[in-house]
C-alpha cells in the first residue's frame, strides 16, 4: 500500500489514523472498512477495487495536500462484490464497527472480524455448491512431499505423503486447491504463476508446533489414532493449513474434528496429464460440459455431488470396497428403489456446509430453516431405505441407515424456534417464532399495539385540532411525529413542540407521543436484542450434536452418490462390472460414456480384450476414425468400475489395475520453453519410469 505508507508522517484525521493502523496488518489484502451502511476502501485498495469491480473512484479529505482515493460498496450488497473479488484470486479483510457510536468520543472502535480468501469460504453465496473449496499446504524434504488438504466449508481434513515431483503434481491436479500454501524455504516444484499460490514462512511448517496445534484442535494426546505415525511432513503441512484457516476465520472451528490419512497406493493413480486428457471434470477447452462428471452427476444434493466428484477424482484400487459399492447400486436398481430416495433427498439440502456455518456461528436464519426441513425428512427417508435393503445382502446401505440417525428433539426445537419463512438476516428481527419465548412475545406485543395507539391518537388529535389532514407517522431519523400542513399553522395547539420543518409542512411532537415513543422504541430495541440472544442460544444447542450431525451428513451424501449411480445405470444402460484377481481387460460392446451422449447418431459399440497373452493393442486407421475415442473409452470404463459405478458395456471383466497413463495429444508448453516434441518425450519418459505390469497405458501418436 505505497500510497498510504508514503503518508505515515503526515497528519490524518483520527478516523484515517485508525484505518491506517488496521491496514498496516494486512498490506497485501483489500480492507473493507465499515462506515455506516458502506464498506469503504482507501488509497491503493480503492484504486484496485474500482478497477476490478468497475465501481466509482472518488476522494475523501486530503493527505499531504493530495485527495485520498476512496471507493465504497453498500453493506447489504457486499456478498456479490466479495464473490467477484474472490473469483479474481483476491483476499479481503472485513473490518466491522464493534463499538457503540453513541458512546464513542473519537472514531467508533473497529476490528477485522474475518478474512475472506479463495480457499477459506463458508458463505453459501461465495461458494460453488458442487465443487470443494480447498486450502492445500505442501512442504518437502529431499524428494518427499507432505500434503494436507482442508475444506473449511465442511471440516474435511486429509493428509498424505508422496515421493517425486510427478506424484506431487498429480495430487495437486486432483485436489485442484483454491489456495496452495508452500514452504518458501523448501524446494516444492509447482507452477510459480499458479492462481492462489501463497508462499509461507518456514515456521508455519514446524513439526512440533503443528503437532501441538493439531492435538489441541482435536482434543487428543497425539495423532496416532488418526494413523499419522511417521508422517512428519504431512503433519507439518496440516499444521500450516490449520493455522492459516484459524488466522482467516478468527473464530473457533469445532467442525474440524480429525485427520484422514490417504495413501496413494490405495487409489487408481492418474498423473496430471492423464486427468486432463480423460476430461474428468474439466474439458480440454477449460469448460465443464462434455466431461465424465457432466454425464455421471445427477445427484440430488450438493454434498452428494461433491462426494461423487471426489470418487471420480480418486478411484479406489482395492476391489473389496468397490464390490460393496457395486452391490449397493444393484440393490438400489431393483424395482427402481433409487427414485423414491432421490425424491426425498432433493429436499435435504446442503447439510454438510450448513453445519460448518453453524459451527463457526455464521449460519443465517434460512440455514436453520433448511436444517429443520432436512431433519424432518430423515424418518421418512430411513423408512424408505429400510424397505430397500430388507432381506437383501447389503451391508453398505445398512451402515448408511445407522449413520443417518434421527433427531426428533432438534427438529422440534427448530420448528418451535424459527418462523416458517425467515428473513435473510437476523439483524432486523422477525426470525424467532411467536410462542417460543414469553419475554419476546411481551415485547413484540408492545410494538404491535403501537399501530392501534397511533391510529387512536391521530383520530383524537384531528378531532381536537379540527385539522382533517393531520397525520401521525414515524421514520428512522426523527422517530414519531405529528405532521400538519403550513396552511393550518394557526390551529396548532400550544402543547405541540416543533420537531422538523419541511417545505409545505411542520412536524411536531407532544408529551403523550414522546412518552409513547420512548416506550415503543425501547420495546423494539429490547425485542431485537432478545431475539438475537435466543438466536445465539440455538448455536449452543446445536453445537452439542454437531459431531453426530456431521456423521449423518456424510451418510446422506454417500446415499445420494449411490442412488445417483443407480439412476445413471438405469438411464444410460450400464452393466455391473466383474472385478477379477487375474490381470486383463475384457469389454464387450463398450461405449464411450461422454461421446455417446454428445453424438446425434447412435454410437457404435466395440470390444476390447487384453490379458497375459495379449498385453498390447496397436490401433491404426484414418484420421477422425475413432482411434482416440476407443482408447479413452477403455480408460473411462476401467475408471468408472473403480469409482463403484456400473459401466457402459454389455459386459466388462476387469482385472487389478494400479495406474492409468495417457499420452494423448500435445501442444507447445511456451511458458516452460518446451516444444510439442519435448512435452511428448517428457510424458513418455514418465510412463516408462512409473508404469508397472498392472498399469493401463494409452499412447496416441507419439513423436509425430
To the nearest whole percent, how much of the chain has pLDDT over 90? Answer: 76
Q: What is the pLDDT of residues 216-269, one digit of tens each?
A: 999 999 999 999 999 999 999 999 999 999 999 999 999 999 999 999 999 999
Is the pLDDT at 145 greater than 60? The verdict is yes
What band does 8 get if pLDDT is binned at 50, 70 and 90?
very low
Q: What is the pLDDT of the chain when averaged over all its residues?
A: 92
Is the pLDDT at 9 greater than 60? The verdict is no
> Among 43-47, 191-195, 488-492, whose mean pLDDT is lowest?
191-195
**Best CA proximity match to 207, nearest among 184, 240, 183:** 240
Residues 324 and 396 sit within 8 Å (Cβ to Cβ): yes
Q: What is the pLDDT of residues 341-379, one digit of tens each?
A: 999 999 999 999 999 999 999 999 999 999 999 999 999
Q: What is the pLDDT of residues 322-339, one digit of tens each?
A: 999 999 999 999 989 999
Q: What angle do CA 220, 206, 166 make, to 5 degrees?
A: 100
Superfamily, domain 578-700: P-loop containing nucleotide triphosphate hydrolases (3.40.50.300)
Q: What is the pLDDT of residues 117-130, one digit of tens each?
A: 999 999 988 899 99
The reply to whether 2-116 and 578-700 are identical in fold is: no
Quick one: average pLDDT of 191-213?
92
Count of Cβ atoms closer than 10 Å to residue 412 Cβ: 13
pLDDT at residue 671 in the model: 45
Q: What is the pLDDT of residues 584-630, one digit of tens each?
A: 999 999 999 999 999 988 999 999 999 988 999 998 888 877 888 99
Residues 552 and 405 sit within 8 Å (Cβ to Cβ): yes
Is the pLDDT at 95 greater than 80? The verdict is yes
Residues 278 and 661 sit within 8 Å (Cβ to Cβ): no
CATH of domain 2-116: 3.40.1170.10
Residue spans of the domains in the chain: they are 2-116, 125-266, 297-405+546-571, 438-539, 578-700
Q: DSSP state, 410?
A: H
pLDDT at residue 191 in the model: 84
pLDDT at residue 678 in the model: 79
Is the pLDDT at 302 greater than 50? The verdict is yes
pLDDT at residue 5 in the model: 46
Q: What is the pTM of this model?
A: 0.89
Q: Which three three-digit cell numbers place residue 340?
A: 423414491
Is the pLDDT at 664 greater than 50? The verdict is yes
What band does 666 get if pLDDT is binned at 50, 70 and 90?
low
What band does 673 get if pLDDT is binned at 50, 70 and 90?
low
Q: What is the pLDDT of residues 509-566, one digit of tens each?
A: 999 999 888 888 888 889 999 999 999 999 999 999 999 999 999 999 999 999 999 9
How far, in Å, CA of 296 to CA of 594, rounded? 9
How far, in Å, CA of 430 to CA of 365, rounded? 10
pLDDT at residue 680 in the model: 79
Question: 613-639 burial string, b = 16+ CB within 10 Å, else e?
Answer: eeeeeeeeeeeeebebbbbbbbbbbbb
Per-residue CA distances from 425 to 126, 363, 434, 452 (Å): 16, 9, 18, 28
Q: Which CATH class is domain 125-266?
A: alpha beta
pLDDT at residue 2 in the model: 47
DSSP letter string, 47-66: HHHHHHHT---EEEEEETTE
Count of Cβ atoms closer than 10 Å to residue 689 Cβ: 9
CATH value of 438-539 in 2.60.120.20, 1.10.1420.10, 3.40.50.620, 1.10.10.10: 1.10.1420.10
Quick one: average pLDDT of 680-698?
86
Fold of 297-405+546-571: MutS, DNA mismatch repair protein; Chain A, domain 3 (1.10.1420)
Is the pLDDT at 7 greater than 70? The verdict is no
Quick one: average pLDDT of 423-448?
92
pLDDT at residue 226 in the model: 97
Amino acid at each position: 500500500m505505497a500510497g498510504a505508507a508514503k503518508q505515515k508522517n503526515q497528519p490524518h484525521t483520527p478516523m484515517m489514523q485508525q484505518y491506517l493502523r488496521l491496514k498496516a496488518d494486512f498490506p497485501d489484502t483489500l480492507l473493507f472498512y465499515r462506515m455506516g451502511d458502506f464498506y469503504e476502501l482507501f488509497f491503493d485498495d480503492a484504486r484496485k477495487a474500482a478497477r476490478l469491480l468497475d465501481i466509482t473512484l472518488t476522494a475523501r479529505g486530503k493527505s499531504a495536500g493530495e485527495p485520498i482515493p476512496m471507493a465504497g460498496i453498500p453493506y447489504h450488497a457486499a456478498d456479490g462484490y466479495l464473490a467477484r473479488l474472490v473469483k479474481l484470486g483476491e483476499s479481503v479483510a472485513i473490518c466491522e464497527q464493534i463499538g457503540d457510536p453513541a458512546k464513542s468520543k473519537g472514531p467508533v472502535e473497529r476490528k477485522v472480524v474475518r478474512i475472506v480468501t479463495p480457499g477459506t469460504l463458508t458463505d453459501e453465496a461465495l461458494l460453488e455448491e458442487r465443487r470443494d473449496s480447498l486450502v492445500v499446504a505442501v512442504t518437502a524434504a529431499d524428494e518427499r512431499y507432505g500434503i494436507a488438504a482442508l475444506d473449511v466449508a465442511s471440516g474435511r481434513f486429509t493428509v498424505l505423503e508422496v515421493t517425486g515431483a510427478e506424484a506431487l503434481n498429480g495430487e495437486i491436479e486432483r485436489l485442484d486447491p483454491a489456495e496452495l500454501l508452500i514452504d518458501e524455504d523448501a524446494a516444492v516444484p509447482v507452477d510459480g504463476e499458479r492462481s492462489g499460490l501463497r508462499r509461507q514462512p518456514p515456521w508455519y511448517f514446524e513439526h512440533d508446533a503443528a503437532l501441538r496445534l493439531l492435538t489441541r484442535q482435536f482434543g487428543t494426546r497425539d495423532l496416532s489414532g488418526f494413523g499419522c505415525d511417521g508422517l512428519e511432513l504431512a503433519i507439518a503441512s496440516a499444521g500450516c493449513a490449520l493455522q492459516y484457516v484459524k488466522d482467516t476465520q478468527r473464530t473457533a472451528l469445532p467442525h474440524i474434528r480429525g485427520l484422514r490419512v490417504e495413501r496413494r497406493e490405495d487409489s487408481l493413480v492418474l498423473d496430471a496429464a492423464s486427468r486432463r486428457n480423460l476430461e474428468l471434470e474439466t474439458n480440454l477447452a477449460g469448460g465443464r460440459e462434455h466431461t465424465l462428471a457432466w454425464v455421471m452427476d445427477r445427484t440430488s444434493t450438493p454434498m452428494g455431488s461433491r462426494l461423487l466428484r471426489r470418487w471420480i477424482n480418486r478411484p479406489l484400487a482395492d476391489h473389496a470396497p468397490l464390490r460393496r459399492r457395486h452391490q449397493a447400486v444393484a440393490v438400489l436398481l431393483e424395482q427402481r428403489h433409487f427414485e423414491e430416495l432421490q425424491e426425498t433427498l432433493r429436499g435435504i439440502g446442503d447439510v454438510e456446509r450448513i453445519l460448518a456455518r453453524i459451527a463457526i456461528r455464521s449460519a443465517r436464519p434460512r440455514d436453520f430453516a433448511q436444517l429443520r426441513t432436512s431433519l424432518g425428512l430423515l424418518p421418512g427417508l430411513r423408512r424408505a431405505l429400510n424397505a430397500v435393503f430388507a432381506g437383501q445382502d447389503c451391508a453398505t446401505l445398512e451402515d448408511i441407515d445407522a449413520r443417518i440417525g434421527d433427531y426428533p428433539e432438534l427438529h422440534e426445537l427448530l420448528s418451535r424456534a424459527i418462523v416458517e419463512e425467515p428473513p435473510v438476516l437476523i439483524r432486523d428481527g422477525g426470525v424467532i417464532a411467536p410462542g417460543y419465548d414469553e419475554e419476546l412475545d411481551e415485547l413484540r406485543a408492545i410494538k404491535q399495539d403501537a399501530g392501534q395507539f397511533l391510529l387512536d391518537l391521530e383520530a383524537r388529535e384531528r378531532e381536537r385540532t379540527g385539522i382533517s389532514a393531520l397525520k401521525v407517522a414515524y421514520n428512522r431519523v426523527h422517530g414519531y411525529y405529528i405532521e400538519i400542513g403550513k396552511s393550518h399553522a394557526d390551529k396548532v395547539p400550544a402543547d405541540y413542540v416543533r420537531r422538523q420543518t419541511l417545505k409545505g409542512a411542520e412536524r411536531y411532537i407532544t408529551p403523550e407521543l414522546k412518552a409513547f415513543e420512548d416506550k415503543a422504541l425501547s420495546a423494539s430495541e429490547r425485542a431485537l436484542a432478545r431475539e438475537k440472544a435466543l438466536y445465539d442460544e440455538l448455536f449452543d444447542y446445536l453445537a452439542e450434536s454437531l459431531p453426530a450431525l456431521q456423521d449423518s451428513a456424510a451418510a446422506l451424501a454417500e446415499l445420494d452418490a449411490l442412488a445417483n449411480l443407480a439412476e445413471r445405470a438405469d438411464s444410460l444402460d450400464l452393466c455391473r462390472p466383474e472385478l477379477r484377481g487375474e490381470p486383463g481387460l475384457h469389454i464387450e460392446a463398450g461405449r464411450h460414456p461422454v461421446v455417446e451422449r454428445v453424438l446425434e447418431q447412435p454410437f457404435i459399440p466395440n470390444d476390447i480384450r487384453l490379458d497375459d497373452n495379449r498385453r498390447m493393442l496397436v490401433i491404426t486407421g484414418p484420421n477422425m476414425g475413432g482411434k482416440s475415442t476407443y482408447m479413452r473409452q477403455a480408460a473411462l470404463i476401467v475408471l468408472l468400475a473403480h469409482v463403484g459405478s456400473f459401466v457402459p458395456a454389455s459386459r466388462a471383466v476387469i482385472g487389478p489395475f494400479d495406474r492409468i497413463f495417457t499420452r494423448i495429444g500435445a501442444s507447445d508448453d511456451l511458458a516452460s520453453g518446451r516444444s510439442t516434441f519435448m512435452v511428448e518425450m517428457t510424458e513418455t519418459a514418465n510412463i516408462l519410469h512409473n508404469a508397472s505390469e498392472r498399469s493401463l497405458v494409452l499412447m496416441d501418436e507419439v513423436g509425430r
